[in-house]
Structure 1
Protein backbone atom coordinates (compact mmCIF):
# COMPACT_ATOMS: atom_id res chain seq x y z
CA UNK A 1 0.00 0.00 0.00
CA UNK A 2 1.36 3.38 -1.02
CA UNK A 3 0.27 6.27 1.19
CA UNK A 4 -1.81 8.79 -0.77
CA UNK A 5 -1.26 12.13 0.95
CA UNK A 6 -3.83 13.79 -1.30
CA UNK A 7 -6.43 11.72 0.57
CA UNK A 8 -5.16 12.36 4.10
CA UNK A 9 -3.71 15.87 3.82
CA UNK A 10 -5.93 17.46 6.47
CA UNK A 11 -5.53 14.57 8.90
CA UNK A 12 -1.77 14.55 8.46
CA UNK A 13 -1.71 18.26 9.23
CA UNK A 14 -3.46 17.50 12.53
CA UNK A 15 -0.90 14.79 13.25
CA UNK A 16 1.76 17.48 13.41
CA UNK A 17 0.10 18.73 16.61
CA UNK A 18 1.11 15.65 18.60
CA UNK A 19 3.52 16.63 21.40
CA UNK A 20 6.39 14.44 20.18
CA UNK A 21 6.44 16.41 16.94
CA UNK A 22 7.38 19.69 18.59
CA UNK A 23 9.17 18.36 21.67
CA UNK A 24 11.48 15.98 19.77
CA UNK A 25 11.15 16.17 15.96
CA UNK A 26 11.15 19.95 15.54
CA UNK A 27 13.50 20.62 18.44
CA UNK A 28 16.03 17.99 17.34
CA UNK A 29 15.97 19.04 13.71
CA UNK A 30 16.38 22.75 14.37
CA UNK A 31 19.26 22.05 16.77
CA UNK A 32 21.00 19.89 14.18
CA UNK A 33 20.41 22.37 11.36
CA UNK A 34 21.86 25.24 13.39
CA UNK A 35 22.10 28.89 12.37
CA UNK A 36 20.12 29.65 9.21
CA UNK A 37 20.82 33.36 9.03
CA UNK A 38 21.27 34.37 5.41
CA UNK A 39 20.94 30.79 4.14
CA UNK A 40 18.79 29.58 1.26
CA UNK A 41 16.84 26.44 2.20
CA UNK A 42 14.68 23.97 0.32
CA UNK A 43 12.31 21.70 2.23
CA UNK A 44 11.80 18.60 0.09
CA UNK A 45 8.64 16.60 0.84
CA UNK A 46 7.47 19.60 2.85
CA UNK A 47 3.88 18.45 3.29
CA UNK A 48 1.67 21.32 4.40
CA UNK A 49 4.66 23.41 5.41
CA UNK A 50 4.90 22.70 9.15
CA UNK A 51 8.70 22.57 9.21
CA UNK A 52 9.06 24.92 6.23
CA UNK A 53 7.57 27.80 8.19
CA UNK A 54 9.90 27.18 11.12
CA UNK A 55 12.91 27.30 8.79
CA UNK A 56 11.84 30.73 7.59
CA UNK A 57 11.15 31.98 11.12
CA UNK A 58 14.63 30.80 12.13
CA UNK A 59 16.23 33.36 9.83
CA UNK A 60 16.68 31.68 6.45
CA UNK A 61 16.87 34.33 3.73
CA UNK A 62 15.00 32.19 1.20
CA UNK A 63 12.81 29.15 1.76
CA UNK A 64 11.16 26.97 -0.86
CA UNK A 65 8.92 24.01 -0.04
CA UNK A 66 8.25 21.23 -2.54
CA UNK A 67 6.01 18.18 -2.33
CA UNK A 68 4.56 15.68 -4.78
CA UNK A 69 1.11 16.00 -3.17
CA UNK A 70 -1.01 18.77 -4.71
CA UNK A 71 -3.32 18.78 -1.69
CA UNK A 72 -0.43 19.24 0.73
CA UNK A 73 0.95 22.14 -1.30
CA UNK A 74 -2.52 23.69 -1.46
CA UNK A 75 -2.72 23.60 2.36
CA UNK A 76 0.73 25.17 2.59
CA UNK A 77 -0.21 27.93 0.16
CA UNK A 78 -3.41 28.69 2.06
CA UNK A 79 -1.43 29.09 5.27
CA UNK A 80 1.06 31.32 3.45
CA UNK A 81 -1.84 33.47 2.21
CA UNK A 82 -3.19 33.79 5.76
CA UNK A 83 0.17 34.52 7.36
CA UNK A 84 2.69 35.53 4.69
CA UNK A 85 6.30 34.58 5.44
CA UNK A 86 7.69 34.87 1.93
CA UNK A 87 7.82 31.11 1.30
CA UNK A 88 7.37 29.67 -2.18
CA UNK A 89 5.62 26.31 -2.49
CA UNK A 90 5.84 24.06 -5.55
CA UNK A 91 4.38 20.71 -6.60
CA UNK A 92 7.53 18.75 -7.41
CA UNK A 93 8.79 15.18 -7.26
CA UNK A 94 11.75 14.74 -4.91
CA UNK A 95 13.23 12.26 -7.37
CA UNK A 96 13.60 14.87 -10.12
CA UNK A 97 17.11 14.64 -11.53
CA UNK A 98 17.34 18.28 -12.58
CA UNK A 99 16.85 21.44 -10.56
CA UNK A 100 16.81 25.01 -11.81
CA UNK A 101 18.12 26.27 -8.47
CA UNK A 102 20.58 25.05 -5.85
CA UNK A 103 20.35 25.88 -2.15
CA UNK A 104 22.68 26.14 0.83
CA UNK A 105 20.68 23.57 2.78
CA UNK A 106 18.19 20.86 1.88
CA UNK A 107 15.86 19.45 4.53
CA UNK A 108 13.69 16.43 3.78
CA UNK A 109 11.99 14.90 6.80
CA UNK A 110 10.29 11.52 6.25
CA UNK A 111 11.22 11.36 2.55
CA UNK A 112 13.70 8.49 2.38
CA UNK A 113 11.34 6.19 4.30
CA UNK A 114 9.30 5.81 1.08
CA UNK A 115 12.09 4.12 -0.86
CA UNK A 116 11.13 0.51 -1.61
CA UNK A 117 14.67 -0.59 -2.46
CA UNK A 118 18.25 0.62 -2.80
CA UNK A 119 17.70 1.76 -6.37
CA UNK A 120 14.82 4.06 -5.43
CA UNK A 121 16.74 5.26 -2.38
CA UNK A 122 19.63 6.17 -4.66
CA UNK A 123 17.33 8.08 -7.01
CA UNK A 124 15.94 10.09 -4.09
CA UNK A 125 19.40 10.90 -2.77
CA UNK A 126 20.59 12.02 -6.20
CA UNK A 127 17.52 14.21 -6.52
CA UNK A 128 18.36 15.84 -3.20
CA UNK A 129 21.99 16.33 -4.18
CA UNK A 130 20.93 18.11 -7.37
CA UNK A 131 19.18 20.75 -5.27
CA UNK A 132 22.20 21.60 -3.10
CA UNK A 133 25.19 23.82 -3.84
CA UNK A 134 28.66 22.26 -3.62
CA UNK A 135 29.65 22.50 0.04
CA UNK A 136 25.99 22.79 1.01
CA UNK A 137 24.31 20.65 3.63
CA UNK A 138 21.66 17.97 3.71
CA UNK A 139 19.62 17.20 6.86
CA UNK A 140 16.83 14.65 7.18
CA UNK A 141 15.22 12.18 9.53
CA UNK A 142 13.92 8.66 8.99
CA UNK A 143 12.00 6.05 10.91
CA UNK A 144 14.63 4.32 13.04
CA UNK A 145 15.80 1.07 11.37
CA UNK A 146 16.65 -0.17 14.87
CA UNK A 147 12.93 -0.79 15.50
CA UNK A 148 13.74 -4.34 14.42
CA UNK A 149 16.64 -4.87 16.80
CA UNK A 150 15.13 -4.09 20.19
CA UNK A 151 13.82 -6.82 22.44
CA UNK A 152 10.41 -5.13 22.56
CA UNK A 153 9.85 -5.52 18.83
CA UNK A 154 8.54 -2.98 18.00
CA UNK A 155 8.49 -0.66 21.04
CA UNK A 156 5.07 0.41 22.30
CA UNK A 157 4.56 4.06 21.36
CA UNK A 158 0.79 4.18 21.85
CA UNK A 159 0.85 6.71 24.67
CA UNK A 160 2.61 9.11 22.31
CA UNK A 161 -0.16 8.70 19.73
CA UNK A 162 1.51 6.35 17.27
CA UNK A 163 1.89 2.61 16.67
CA UNK A 164 4.34 0.73 14.46
CA UNK A 165 3.51 -2.64 12.91
CA UNK A 166 6.38 -4.59 11.37
CA UNK A 167 6.68 -7.87 9.47
CA UNK A 168 8.16 -10.80 11.38
CA UNK A 169 11.65 -10.22 10.01
CA UNK A 170 13.55 -7.30 8.58
CA UNK A 171 14.20 -7.34 4.86
CA UNK A 172 14.94 -4.47 2.51
CA UNK A 173 11.68 -2.90 1.42
CA UNK A 174 9.66 -4.48 4.24
CA UNK A 175 6.50 -2.42 4.87
CA UNK A 176 6.30 -0.57 8.17
CA UNK A 177 2.70 0.41 8.93
CA UNK A 178 2.46 3.46 11.18
CA UNK A 179 -0.92 4.17 12.75
CA UNK A 180 -1.27 7.76 13.92
CA UNK A 181 -4.04 8.21 16.50
CA UNK A 182 -5.82 11.56 16.38
CA UNK A 183 -8.60 12.75 18.68
CA UNK A 184 -11.43 11.61 16.43
CA UNK A 185 -9.82 9.12 14.04
CA UNK A 186 -6.66 7.31 13.04
CA UNK A 187 -4.64 7.32 9.83
CA UNK A 188 -2.24 4.68 8.56
CA UNK A 189 1.00 5.65 6.84
CA UNK A 190 3.23 3.07 5.19
CA UNK A 191 7.02 3.39 5.32
CA UNK A 192 9.59 0.86 4.10
CA UNK A 193 12.51 -0.60 5.99
CA UNK A 194 16.00 0.07 4.67
CA UNK A 195 19.09 -0.56 6.84
CA UNK A 196 21.50 2.12 7.96
CA UNK A 197 24.20 1.01 5.54
CA UNK A 198 21.81 1.40 2.60
CA UNK A 199 21.18 5.03 3.53
CA UNK A 200 24.86 5.74 4.02
CA UNK A 201 25.82 4.12 0.71
CA UNK A 202 23.08 5.91 -1.23
CA UNK A 203 24.07 9.29 0.17
CA UNK A 204 27.77 8.77 -0.50
CA UNK A 205 27.06 7.55 -4.03
CA UNK A 206 24.93 10.67 -4.59
CA UNK A 207 27.92 12.86 -3.75
CA UNK A 208 27.62 13.52 -0.02
CA UNK A 209 30.54 13.31 2.41
CA UNK A 210 30.78 13.37 6.20
CA UNK A 211 27.49 11.47 6.43
CA UNK A 212 26.52 11.11 10.10
CA UNK A 213 23.61 9.73 12.12
CA UNK A 214 22.16 11.46 15.19
CA UNK A 215 19.72 10.63 17.97
CA UNK A 216 16.82 12.83 18.97
CA UNK A 217 16.79 15.23 21.90
CA UNK A 218 13.88 16.43 24.03
CA UNK A 219 12.93 20.09 24.30
CA UNK A 220 12.37 21.38 27.83
CA UNK A 221 8.92 22.79 28.50
CA UNK A 222 8.73 24.87 31.69
CA UNK A 223 4.95 25.25 31.30
CA UNK A 224 4.37 21.50 31.57
CA UNK A 225 6.16 21.03 34.87
CA UNK A 226 7.34 17.66 36.15
CA UNK A 227 6.63 15.01 33.51
CA UNK A 228 8.12 12.15 35.48
CA UNK A 229 9.16 9.26 33.27
CA UNK A 230 6.70 10.07 30.47
CA UNK A 231 9.38 10.49 27.78
CA UNK A 232 11.77 7.78 29.00
CA UNK A 233 10.51 5.08 26.63
CA UNK A 234 10.49 7.46 23.66
CA UNK A 235 14.10 8.46 24.29
CA UNK A 236 15.33 4.96 25.14
CA UNK A 237 13.82 3.54 21.94
CA UNK A 238 13.93 6.53 19.58
CA UNK A 239 11.26 6.32 16.91
CA UNK A 240 13.34 8.33 14.45
CA UNK A 241 16.98 9.17 13.80
CA UNK A 242 18.48 12.09 11.91
CA UNK A 243 21.06 12.12 9.14
CA UNK A 244 23.21 14.93 7.79
CA UNK A 245 25.99 15.31 5.26
CA UNK A 246 27.86 17.76 3.05
CA UNK A 247 27.67 17.85 -0.74
CA UNK A 248 31.17 17.36 -2.09
Structure 2
Protein backbone atom coordinates (compact mmCIF):
# COMPACT_ATOMS: atom_id res chain seq x y z
CA UNK A 1 0.00 0.00 0.00
CA UNK A 2 1.35 3.41 -0.99
CA UNK A 3 0.15 5.77 1.67
CA UNK A 4 -0.05 9.48 0.95
CA UNK A 5 -1.52 11.42 3.86
CA UNK A 6 0.50 14.50 3.01
CA UNK A 7 -1.72 15.45 0.09
CA UNK A 8 -4.68 15.68 2.47
CA UNK A 9 -4.99 19.43 3.07
CA UNK A 10 -5.73 19.19 6.80
CA UNK A 11 -2.95 16.74 7.51
CA UNK A 12 -0.47 18.76 5.46
CA UNK A 13 -1.45 21.95 7.28
CA UNK A 14 -0.77 20.28 10.63
CA UNK A 15 2.52 18.84 9.41
CA UNK A 16 3.60 22.24 8.13
CA UNK A 17 3.34 23.61 11.68
CA UNK A 18 5.67 21.04 13.21
CA UNK A 19 9.01 22.46 14.44
CA UNK A 20 10.98 20.37 11.93
CA UNK A 21 8.81 21.70 9.12
CA UNK A 22 9.51 25.28 10.11
CA UNK A 23 13.04 25.08 11.47
CA UNK A 24 14.45 22.44 9.15
CA UNK A 25 17.22 20.03 10.09
CA UNK A 26 18.31 21.92 13.18
CA UNK A 27 14.81 21.47 14.60
CA UNK A 28 14.83 17.71 13.90
CA UNK A 29 15.94 15.98 17.08
CA UNK A 30 17.60 13.08 15.29
CA UNK A 31 19.53 15.23 12.81
CA UNK A 32 22.82 15.34 14.71
CA UNK A 33 22.91 11.54 14.92
CA UNK A 34 21.87 11.19 11.26
CA UNK A 35 24.49 13.67 10.08
CA UNK A 36 27.19 11.78 11.98
CA UNK A 37 26.44 8.67 9.90
CA UNK A 38 26.76 10.42 6.54
CA UNK A 39 29.89 9.93 4.44
CA UNK A 40 31.79 12.73 2.74
CA UNK A 41 29.32 14.20 0.24
CA UNK A 42 31.63 16.33 -1.89
CA UNK A 43 31.32 15.41 -5.59
CA UNK A 44 28.84 12.62 -4.77
CA UNK A 45 25.58 11.84 -6.56
CA UNK A 46 22.92 11.59 -3.87
CA UNK A 47 19.43 10.08 -3.79
CA UNK A 48 16.95 11.03 -1.03
CA UNK A 49 14.02 8.62 -0.56
CA UNK A 50 11.01 10.42 0.91
CA UNK A 51 12.61 13.83 0.56
CA UNK A 52 9.69 15.84 1.97
CA UNK A 53 10.48 19.55 1.99
CA UNK A 54 13.96 18.86 0.60
CA UNK A 55 15.98 19.76 3.69
CA UNK A 56 18.42 16.87 3.26
CA UNK A 57 18.72 17.50 -0.48
CA UNK A 58 19.75 21.09 0.10
CA UNK A 59 22.14 20.07 2.88
CA UNK A 60 23.85 17.63 0.51
CA UNK A 61 24.43 20.41 -1.99
CA UNK A 62 25.75 22.67 0.77
CA UNK A 63 28.33 19.94 1.32
CA UNK A 64 29.25 20.17 -2.40
CA UNK A 65 27.43 17.05 -3.57
CA UNK A 66 27.62 16.94 -7.37
CA UNK A 67 23.88 16.38 -7.81
CA UNK A 68 20.86 15.32 -5.78
CA UNK A 69 17.61 13.58 -6.67
CA UNK A 70 14.79 13.70 -4.15
CA UNK A 71 11.71 11.51 -4.55
CA UNK A 72 8.41 11.77 -2.73
CA UNK A 73 4.86 10.57 -3.27
CA UNK A 74 3.32 13.83 -2.06
CA UNK A 75 2.77 16.66 -4.54
CA UNK A 76 2.30 19.01 -1.58
CA UNK A 77 5.72 18.09 -0.23
CA UNK A 78 7.39 18.49 -3.61
CA UNK A 79 5.69 21.82 -4.31
CA UNK A 80 7.06 23.17 -1.01
CA UNK A 81 10.49 21.65 -1.68
CA UNK A 82 10.71 23.29 -5.09
CA UNK A 83 9.61 26.63 -3.69
CA UNK A 84 12.39 26.45 -1.10
CA UNK A 85 15.09 25.38 -3.57
CA UNK A 86 17.07 27.47 -6.03
CA UNK A 87 19.56 24.96 -7.34
CA UNK A 88 19.61 23.36 -10.79
CA UNK A 89 21.57 20.37 -9.45
CA UNK A 90 18.66 19.31 -7.21
CA UNK A 91 15.89 17.45 -9.00
CA UNK A 92 12.62 16.54 -7.27
CA UNK A 93 10.60 13.66 -8.70
CA UNK A 94 7.00 12.70 -7.95
CA UNK A 95 7.53 9.04 -7.19
CA UNK A 96 6.67 6.53 -4.49
CA UNK A 97 9.66 4.98 -2.74
CA UNK A 98 8.27 1.58 -3.70
CA UNK A 99 8.42 2.53 -7.40
CA UNK A 100 12.04 3.61 -7.68
CA UNK A 101 13.77 2.01 -10.66
CA UNK A 102 17.10 3.74 -11.13
CA UNK A 103 19.95 2.50 -13.26
CA UNK A 104 22.68 0.32 -11.82
CA UNK A 105 25.35 2.28 -9.96
CA UNK A 106 23.62 5.62 -10.60
CA UNK A 107 24.30 7.04 -7.13
CA UNK A 108 27.14 7.28 -4.63
CA UNK A 109 24.96 7.85 -1.56
CA UNK A 110 21.33 7.04 -0.77
CA UNK A 111 19.62 8.54 2.28
CA UNK A 112 16.17 8.19 3.78
CA UNK A 113 14.94 10.03 6.85
CA UNK A 114 11.89 8.76 8.77
CA UNK A 115 10.11 7.47 5.67
CA UNK A 116 10.74 3.74 5.40
CA UNK A 117 8.47 2.76 8.31
CA UNK A 118 5.63 3.76 5.94
CA UNK A 119 6.80 1.22 3.34
CA UNK A 120 5.57 -2.36 3.55
CA UNK A 121 8.47 -4.22 1.92
CA UNK A 122 11.73 -2.95 3.37
CA UNK A 123 13.61 -5.89 1.86
CA UNK A 124 12.62 -4.90 -1.68
CA UNK A 125 13.74 -1.31 -1.10
CA UNK A 126 17.10 -2.55 0.19
CA UNK A 127 17.63 -4.54 -3.00
CA UNK A 128 16.65 -1.58 -5.17
CA UNK A 129 18.99 0.74 -3.27
CA UNK A 130 21.82 -1.78 -3.56
CA UNK A 131 21.23 -1.94 -7.32
CA UNK A 132 21.44 1.82 -7.86
CA UNK A 133 24.49 2.39 -5.62
CA UNK A 134 28.06 2.20 -6.83
CA UNK A 135 30.38 -0.33 -5.22
CA UNK A 136 31.46 1.30 -1.97
CA UNK A 137 28.34 3.48 -1.95
CA UNK A 138 26.61 4.28 1.33
CA UNK A 139 23.01 3.87 2.45
CA UNK A 140 22.03 5.92 5.52
CA UNK A 141 18.51 5.64 6.89
CA UNK A 142 16.44 6.44 9.93
CA UNK A 143 13.13 4.93 11.01
CA UNK A 144 11.05 4.95 14.14
CA UNK A 145 12.57 2.47 16.57
CA UNK A 146 10.92 -0.97 16.73
CA UNK A 147 10.35 -0.47 20.45
CA UNK A 148 8.39 2.64 19.51
CA UNK A 149 6.37 1.00 16.71
CA UNK A 150 5.56 -2.36 18.37
CA UNK A 151 2.23 -1.12 19.75
CA UNK A 152 -0.02 0.98 17.54
CA UNK A 153 -0.91 3.31 20.43
CA UNK A 154 2.69 4.59 20.58
CA UNK A 155 2.11 6.07 24.01
CA UNK A 156 3.13 5.73 27.63
CA UNK A 157 1.36 3.79 30.35
CA UNK A 158 0.09 6.43 32.75
CA UNK A 159 -0.35 6.35 36.53
CA UNK A 160 -3.37 7.56 38.48
CA UNK A 161 -2.04 11.12 38.53
CA UNK A 162 -1.29 11.11 34.82
CA UNK A 163 2.41 10.44 35.33
CA UNK A 164 4.29 8.47 32.68
CA UNK A 165 4.98 5.13 34.33
CA UNK A 166 6.62 3.16 31.53
CA UNK A 167 6.60 2.60 27.78
CA UNK A 168 4.69 -0.62 27.03
CA UNK A 169 6.18 -3.07 24.53
CA UNK A 170 3.98 -5.90 23.30
CA UNK A 171 3.59 -7.94 20.09
CA UNK A 172 7.20 -7.14 19.32
CA UNK A 173 7.74 -10.15 17.07
CA UNK A 174 4.38 -9.72 15.38
CA UNK A 175 5.60 -7.70 12.41
CA UNK A 176 3.30 -5.87 10.05
CA UNK A 177 1.01 -2.85 9.81
CA UNK A 178 0.02 -0.73 12.78
CA UNK A 179 -2.72 1.88 12.60
CA UNK A 180 -1.29 4.76 14.59
CA UNK A 181 -2.44 8.32 15.31
CA UNK A 182 -0.25 11.09 13.95
CA UNK A 183 -1.31 14.73 13.72
CA UNK A 184 -4.90 13.76 14.57
CA UNK A 185 -5.06 11.32 11.66
CA UNK A 186 -4.95 7.55 11.33
CA UNK A 187 -1.79 6.48 9.53
CA UNK A 188 -0.39 3.05 8.72
CA UNK A 189 3.15 2.35 9.89
CA UNK A 190 4.96 -0.96 9.42
CA UNK A 191 6.53 -2.52 12.48
CA UNK A 192 9.73 -4.46 11.88
CA UNK A 193 12.07 -5.78 14.53
CA UNK A 194 15.72 -4.75 14.71
CA UNK A 195 16.88 -8.08 13.26
CA UNK A 196 14.63 -7.70 10.22
CA UNK A 197 16.15 -4.32 9.35
CA UNK A 198 19.70 -5.58 9.72
CA UNK A 199 19.18 -8.91 7.99
CA UNK A 200 17.38 -7.31 5.03
CA UNK A 201 20.38 -5.07 4.47
CA UNK A 202 22.90 -7.89 4.85
CA UNK A 203 20.93 -10.21 2.55
CA UNK A 204 20.77 -7.44 -0.06
CA UNK A 205 24.56 -7.22 -0.12
CA UNK A 206 25.26 -4.46 2.38
CA UNK A 207 27.78 -4.38 5.19
CA UNK A 208 26.63 -2.60 8.33
CA UNK A 209 28.89 0.29 9.28
CA UNK A 210 27.19 1.73 12.33
CA UNK A 211 23.92 1.77 14.27
CA UNK A 212 22.44 4.48 16.44
CA UNK A 213 19.50 4.43 18.83
CA UNK A 214 19.99 8.13 19.56
CA UNK A 215 20.90 8.35 23.21
CA UNK A 216 20.42 12.02 24.16
CA UNK A 217 23.53 13.96 25.09
CA UNK A 218 23.79 16.31 28.06
CA UNK A 219 23.74 19.22 25.62
CA UNK A 220 20.46 17.99 24.13
CA UNK A 221 18.96 17.55 27.61
CA UNK A 222 20.04 21.05 28.62
CA UNK A 223 18.41 22.58 25.54
CA UNK A 224 15.21 20.55 25.78
CA UNK A 225 14.31 18.63 28.96
CA UNK A 226 11.72 16.66 26.95
CA UNK A 227 14.64 14.61 25.61
CA UNK A 228 14.67 12.89 29.02
CA UNK A 229 11.95 10.63 27.61
CA UNK A 230 14.38 9.33 24.99
CA UNK A 231 16.60 8.00 27.77
CA UNK A 232 13.68 5.91 29.01
CA UNK A 233 12.90 4.43 25.59
CA UNK A 234 14.39 4.90 22.11
CA UNK A 235 12.27 6.62 19.48
CA UNK A 236 14.70 6.52 16.55
CA UNK A 237 16.75 3.78 14.90
CA UNK A 238 19.48 4.84 12.47
CA UNK A 239 21.65 2.67 10.24
CA UNK A 240 24.65 3.31 8.00
CA UNK A 241 25.53 0.54 5.55
CA UNK A 242 27.91 0.22 2.61
CA UNK A 243 27.68 -1.74 -0.64
CA UNK A 244 30.82 -3.87 -0.84
TM-score range, shorter chain: 0.7 to 0.9
**In structure 2, what is the Cα distance between the partners aligned to 1:149 and 1:47?**
25
1:88 aligns with 2:86: no
Match of 1:109 in 2: 113
TM-score by length of 1: 0.75
How many residues in Structure 1 have an aligned counterpart in Structure 2? 226
Q: Which residue of 2 aligns with 1:238?
A: 234
Q: How does 1:184-203 map to 2 (within 5 A)?
A: 186-203=184-201
| TM score, norm. by length of structure 2 | 0.76
Question: Aligned residue for 2:178?
Answer: 175
Whole-Å Cα distance in 2 between the matches of residues 62 and 21 of structure 1? 22
Question: 1:95 touches 1:127 (CA, 8 Å); kept in 2?
Answer: no
Mapping for residues 8-157 of structure 1, pairs under 5 Å: 8-15=11-18, 16-17=20-21, 22=27, 24-80=29-85, 83-84=86-87, 86-96=89-99, 98-100=101-103, 102-116=106-120, 120-147=121-148, 154-155=155-156
* Structure 1 residues 218 and 39, CA gap change in structure 2 (3 angstroms): farther
Paired with 1:203 and 1:62, the residues of 2 have a C-alpha distance of 25
8 Å Cα contact 2:156/2:168 also seen in 1: no
C-alpha distance in 2 between matches for 1:236 and 1:193: 20
CA distance in 2, matches of 1:210, 1:228: 31
Unaligned runs of 5+ in 2: 158-166
Structure 1 residues 34 and 97: CA distance shift in structure 2, 3 A = closer
Instruction: Please give the secondary structure, in 2, of the residue aligned with 1:169.
Output: coil
SS at match of 1:24: coil
With over 3 angstroms needed to count, the CA separation of the structure-2 counterparts of 1:136 and 1:155, relative to structure 1, is: farther
* Contact 1:102/1:132 (<8 A) preserved: yes
* RMSD between superposed Cα atoms in Å: 3.4
Q: What SS class does the counterpart of residue 27 from structure 2 fall into?
A: helix
| In structure 1, distance between residues paired with 2:145 and 2:26 | 15
